[in-house]
Structures are given as C-alpha cells and as structure tokens.
C-alpha cells in the first residue's frame, strides 16, 4: 500500500505491554526466515503474531539507526529498504 499520509506509532509502556514487545525482543533472532509466516493478513495490528505493524516499525527504526551510524561519514544519501 502506498500512501502519502504520515503514520506515527508511540511506544508507551502500555502499548509495549499490550504488544508483548519485551518478550518478543527477547526471543527475536536476526535473520529468522520463519517470521515471514508468522503474521495475520486479516489483522495488521494483531499483537499475538511475530510480525505486525508495531513490530515491523521497531525493526525498521533499528535498521535505520544502524545505517545512520554506519554511513554517517559518507556523503550523499542512503536508501533504506525494509522487506
């Protein structure tokens, strides 16, 4: 879905608890292909699956911060892709 609307997710303590982010982060393993199948196509916000809107946003933000650190001395822009 392509949209021009800005979407913001605020990770309050309550939202983190509702999403189970602490447990999810503890069990997360980078490069785990099995996560592809652990989503709910009928509910993008389902907190019981490994991939939902919030968890993908957390991964994207972490990836962006890593790229910013790795490329801070490079001139020009870098392109970030999640997926």
Q: Which pLDDT tens digit goes with each residue over 1-22?
A: 566 777 777 778 888 888 888 8
pTM of the predicted model over 0.75? no
- DSSP class of residue 51? B
DSSP letter at 37 equals: G
| Cα distance between residue 38 and residue 20, in whole Å | 15
Strand, helix or coil at 69?
Answer: helix
pLDDT at position 42: 93
Average pLDDT, the chain: 77
* Per-residue model confidence (pLDDT) at position 81: 59
**Which tops the pLDDT comparison, 6 or 48?**
48
Residue 31 is predicted with a pLDDT of 63
Average pLDDT over residues 14-31: 80
């Amino acid at each position: 879905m392509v949209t021009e609307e800005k979407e913001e997710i605020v990770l309050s303590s309550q939202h983190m608890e509702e999403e189970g982010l602490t447990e999810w982060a503890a069990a997360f393993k980078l490069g785990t292909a099995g996560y592809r199948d652990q989503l709910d196509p009928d509910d993008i916000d389902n907190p019981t699956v490994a991939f939902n809107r919030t968890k993908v946003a957390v991964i994207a933000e972490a990836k962006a911060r890593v790229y910013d650190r790795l490329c801070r001395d490079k001139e020009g822009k870098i392109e970030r892709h999640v997926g």
